[in-house]
Amino acid sequence: MSATVTRRDGRGIFASTRHGWPMVVPALCVLCVMNLLPILWSFGISFYRFRADHPRLAPHFLGLDYYVELMTDDDVWERVSNTGEFILGSVSVQIVVGALLVGLFYRPFPGRRLILMLVLTPMLLSTVVVGTFFNFFYDPTFGFVAAIMRPLLGHPFVPLASPTSAMTSLIIADAWMWSPFVMLMLMAGLSSVPRELCEAAEIDRASRWHRFRSVIFPSVRGVLLLAVLFRVIESFNAYELVSAITNGGPGTSTETLSTQIYGTAFVLFQTGRASALANFSTFVIILLVNLYFQAMRQRGRAMGT
Amino acid sequence: MEQDDNHPLFRPASWGRTVGSALIGLAYFIPVLWMLLAAFKTRQDALAVPPKLIFAPTFEHFVSLFTGFEDGKQVFADGFQLYIFNSLFIASASVLLALGLGLLAAYGFARMQLPGTSYLLFYTLAMRMIPPLTTIIPLYVLFSKIGLGGSYAGLIAVYTGFNLPFAIWMLRSFIVELPREAEEAAWLDGSSRPAILWRIVLPQLRGGLAATAIIALVFTWNDFLFSQILSGSDTRTIPVAMLRVMGADFGTDWGLFAAAGTIYLAPVLLVAFFLQNQLLRGATFGTVTR
């Protein structure tokens, strides 16, 4: 950090912690009350058998029992693997579709702004509303997905009936919403490709593949990593989409950690158990955010800011 | 997305590209289009397979949204206007609070040389990204204990905490881009820090503040989980009302649902058009700007 400008009386504009703290403390206090405190409390709850719908029932201390139970519960591991499948599928589709969209939109052309609006709208929609509509699109009788697939397959198609096609349906809906985000990320990466390098590559008549590998990809790599981490974090938290489209079914084949936490907390009202599971998710997310933070700073350093 | 036209990667393309991308863009837009059309269809038309593109439009769903009656049957206790008001009121109050607190904190983090800034920033970002369900469970317990459950105050407090990390990161990313020289010159002329923030930083930050506010409004407008668990029947926001009232109680009435969705979507479409250049920054909480 550069030295700050100092007045004749020796007071620097940016150097005073005595005046700096009062700026950030109010916000930090609100964050402590609304975010940090609930997280700590959530740890407290997870040590007790406790039902939020029966506040009079005295909480029963269990210690780490719920954590032990969760680690050895096959159902929980199935949710973990469903969540992983969903993230892996959705994020990879998003990268492919996002890259294709970049190819379409990175150069300016007449009407680009208006057409981009069509593509950017999905990521601004409410997930739960999107989920409800996709649930309708996947309807075997009235939905257009079934209507398109029926003549192709030669038999009626029920998208949400089998575990694989239900998961695929979820992935398509999530990727539809978020591929444009990956597109925006990749575009930001493209605009940091140094102009001189591109011109040099053109003069050298480098092949397209070579140009992509040695000129374009190195500039895009950092931002692609950020996009992946960001989408992994958000997909990990996805609750609304899953609950609206499949509600975990058929059976429990698309039940994810988030839907499991919701069901345990607000359908079964096993508040303590749900908190233990939620804390496990928090732990995973903090690890991922840490990775994101480091990737971000690395990219910042690489770009010289 | 303003790019250098001389950059070999970004040479302008011709009208051919417009036609091709318009077709693909429209295909991408089909799910939204379906909803927009269904809002103006009668019940029979909305369920037709394949979907009808040409039909006699009707406004009956919009009328029933605001009167609460469809086909002589009551579908809402109060009109949809209550939920529009709730969404607007809760979102704007919490965004205003978050912007005020966030602006001060963002300036502190961006400019003042505070020890531990990078840890605090990490903590702030993590607060926003941890699963919302983790905080909702204890908040639900807390709110029902102290009587905040179902109240506007409780929801506004929750959404302020939800928007604050976003506001801090987003505004910080705009402040770091401002040149320090103007602030330093004013400091040497004897201005106080509050005066500098008010007269020098704020005027330059107008665009950034607007972008932050609008994107935070969209986030809050779209949120479902907090409102689903912590709101009461009078304080429900639009997405929760759409699901509760139209889904469960009466068997989904698609025309009505689509009409509500259309009203819900209108402001978001404007954002997608006018705020394209800030969308990426918004979606990454200010961590990726270019």
Contact (CB, 8 A) for A242 and A248:
yes
User: Tell me, what's the ipTM?
Assistant: 0.88
Residues B68 and B95 in one domain: no
Instruction: Determine, for residues B21 and A38 on separate chains, whether the beta-carbon distance falls below 8 Å.
Output: no
Query: What does the pLDDT average to over A229-237?
Result: 92
Residues of chain B in contact with residue A121, where contact means CB-CB under 8 angstroms, are 29, 32, 265, 268-269, 272
Domain boundaries, chain A: 1-46, 66-302
What tokens does B18 get? 């417009």
pLDDT band at A1 (very low <50, low <70, confident <90, very high): very low
Q: What value does the mean pLDDT take over residues A91-101?
A: 95
Indicate the number of domains in chain B.
2
Q: How confident is the model at residue A16 (pLDDT cuts 50, 70, 90)?
A: confident
Whether the CB-CB separation of A120 and A179 falls below 8 Å is answered with no
- pLDDT, mean of residues B224-240: 89
Q: What is d(CA A42, CA A28) in angstroms, rounded to the nearest whole number?
A: 19
pLDDT at B192: 86
For range A214-238, the mean pLDDT: 89
In DSSP terms, which residues pair with B70 in a beta bridge?
B73
Residues of B in contact with A42 (CB under 8 A): 134-135, 137-138
For the structural domain made of A66-302, what CATH number should be given? 1.10.3720.10
Boundary residue ending a domain (B74, B91, B110)? B74
CA A223 to chain centre: 15
Q: How far is B67 from chain A (nearest CA, A)?
A: 22
Q: Where are the beta strands (DSSP E) in chain B?
A: 69-70, 73-74
Q: Answer yes or no: do B247 and B194 share one domain.
A: yes
- Domain holding B209, by residue range, is 81-252+259-283
Across residues B6-22, what is the average pLDDT? 83
* Nearest residue on chain B to A36, alpha-carbon basis: B127
Which of B29, B52, B74 terminates a domain? The answer is B74
Q: Which of A124, A127, A286 has the highest number of chain B CBs within 10 A, making it the mutation to test binding with B? A: A124
The partner residue sitting opposite B17, judged by closest CB among A107, A216, A226, is A107
Query: Same domain, yes or no, for B235 and B267?
Result: yes
Question: Do B144 and A106 count as a contact with CB atoms less than 8 A apart?
Answer: no
B94 and B22 inside one domain = no
Q: Are residues B161 and B115 in the same domain?
A: yes
The DSSP string of chain A is: -PPPPB-TTS-BSS--HHHHHHHHHHHHHHHIIIIIHHHHHHHHHHTEE--TT-TTSPPEE-TTHHHHHHHT-HHHHHHHHHHHHHHHHHHHHHHHHHHHHHHHHSS--TTHHHHHHHHHGGGGS-HHHHHHHHHHHT-TTT-HHHHHHHHHHSS---TTSSHHHHHHHHHHHHHHHHHHHHHHHHHHHHTTS-HHHHHHHHHTT--HHHHIIIIIHHHHHHHHHHHHHHHHHHHHH--HHHHHHTTT-STTTT--HHHHHHHHHHTS--HHHHHHHHHHHHHHHHHHHHHHHHHHHHHHHHTT-
**A147 shares contact with chain B (CB less than 8 Å):** yes
